[in-house]
Amino acid sequence: MSDLDKQQDSEPFDPPTEIVSFGSDPEAPSIDWLDLSTPSLLSEYPFDFGPYKILGELGRGGMGVVYKGVQKDLDRVVSIKVILSNRLLAWKNVLRFRSEAKAAASVRHSNIVGIYETGKVLGQHYIAMEYIEGESLARRNRMNPLSTEEAIRVVARVARAIAHLHAKNIVHLDLKPSNILIDPTGQPFVTDFGLARGLGGRGIGKDTEAISGTPCYMAPEQAKGDESEIGPLCDVYGLGAVLYELLTKSPPFKSEDAFETLVKVIEEEPQPPRSISPEIPKTIEKICLRCLEKDPEKRYASANDLADDLDRFLAGDIVESTATSLPDLIKCWIRRNPALSSHLIVLSFFMGIELLWYHLFKIRTAEYHYTLLSILTLWVFTSIGLDGFLKKPKFEKAARLLWAAADVIFLTAALLNNGGITSHLLILYPILLAASGLWFQINLVWTVTVITLFSYGFLIGHAHFFRPEIEIHFDHHIVFLASIFSIGFLISLLVRRLELLLSYGRRRPSLVQTK
């Protein structure tokens, strides 16, 4: 049973006025050790425990006991976790305890229980943690089951918190409903980092032994003890197991014997959630089962990807990993490749218009028609090539600038074929400039602005030297150039303001995480 499985299961207590004190009272028994894990030793609450006053027990598990207490100097309510057994303390438990403290103390997230300090009072190791007014997710779902939407929302937020852990190169490896707290507002908090380990070594603590866990929620590679496979995808499996239990009221695999459970985890497929609860949406069933794939490579690539799909479902959007119809697959591809898809849609539109006008109305010469189609076709293939480089981190920045420049150059070539300075398609210049702001990079906006100004100047020069029949009104062109510069300047200011807002949001993650 988890450390927090029993939180608030007992009746509320009324602390007596008499205080039993250990560790801070001069009259306390003369002992050099303290075993808080033995209930019979402490008959009354509250009692002093170093800098804390312990008010009562919240829960106990296989390794530790969690108490509710008050930090006396700050008058702050805390949760205090102490290790089970002390006099004959097993060194493995001490190392795991230290590992938990180190792992939890290294992260700060609005959905992760924070660590205040660790220490030892009369030989008793403890961790002082943020106190969450609420109950474990396991008890909450048992006593007052979550709706499907509530379950999805909780797992999505937990997945974001786990993604934050992974970004810090830490994997939790013991995700289950009893290790997640729910406050009165429904906000989840991840706790219990006793099995957490670093991605690059054998654990957060140097001497942490081989991994263990709770069989019902362990990934197959974790159940096999395959050290080479243990990593973030184990937590993705754990998130799927939590979602499965919230939806069906039972973990994916469960037997009376732990060994039998491990065998099922390794060899059997989970029963589809909809066969247990038909009201579960098909999309959520597919998401859940994808998390529970035996092959780690078939699961979500990250906890963030899982959270994205859950958020899309809640927003009523198409979930890419479960899309099957052609329209849904197309929509997902467009969303995954916004830059390329927007180029292909616009260019295809112009190619279609050109083909329609030429074949139906014959108002263009064959030379004009084939030249324009060549320009648009080359533009399409250039966009496809640059999109490939855009997806490679090494070339991303250069590809973005080249793509922006190529758009202006190809548009200029198309304008030369369509009347040059007199073309009605000149309006596409400010549209391209406005679109450059979607990359949220000031240097890119100014690159497009400068190239656009030079391109328009080139069209003026071309008309002056090669199109003498065109009357050039320089005052009109100066106004147009000034307008292009002004649009670029305003867009750069807008991008700058958005950068400041995003920077502030990154410094205050709670503003985003608690929506």
pLDDT tens-digit readout, 488-510: 999 999 999 988 886 765 554 44
CA separation for the pair 156, 246 (Å, rounded): 13
CA separation for the pair 86, 33 (Å, rounded): 7
| Catalytically active residues, by annotation | 174
How many helices (H) and strands (E) are present in the chain, helices listed first? 17, 11
Neighbours of 70 (CB within 10 A): 18
CA separation for the pair 2, 194 (Å, rounded): 11
Residue 160 CA to its chain's centroid (Å)? 4
| Per-residue confidence (pLDDT) for residue 21, from 0 to 100 | 32
The pLDDT of residue 204 is above 60: no
Highest mean pLDDT, choosing among 94-98, 201-205, 473-477: 473-477
CB 449 within 8 A of CB 432: no
Say which range, 47-56, 219-228, 435-444, 502-511, has the weakest mean pLDDT. 502-511
The arithmetic mean of pLDDT across residues 157-185, rounded, is 91
| Per-residue confidence (pLDDT) for residue 202, from 0 to 100 | 44
User: Which residues, in sequence order, are CB contacts of 5 under 8 Å at separation 6+?
Assistant: 59, 61, 136, 138, 139, 178
Residue 216 CA to its chain's centroid (Å)? 24
Going along 84-172, which residue ranges are E strands?
A: 115-121, 124-130, 135-136, 170-171
**SS3 call for 88:** coil
Q: Are strands 64-71 and 76-83 parallel, antiparallel or unpaired?
A: antiparallel
**SS3 call for 48:** strand
- 55-104 tens-digit pLDDT: 888 877 666 788 899 999 898 999 988 876 544 445 566 666 666 667 66
- Tokens 């090669």: give the residue: 466
> In the chain, which segments carry CATH 1.10.510.10?
135-332
Fold entry, domain 135-332: Transferase(Phosphotransferase); domain 1 (1.10.510)
The pLDDT of residue 145 is above 70: yes
pTM of the full predicted structure?
0.62
CB 138 within 8 A of CB 179: no
Mean pLDDT of the chain: 81
Percentage of the chain lying above the pLDDT 90 cut: 41
Per-residue pLDDT band for 200 (boundaries 50, 70, 90) equals low
- 305-318 tens-digit pLDDT: 999 999 999 998 88
> What residues pair up with 53 in beta bridges, in sequence order?
48, 70
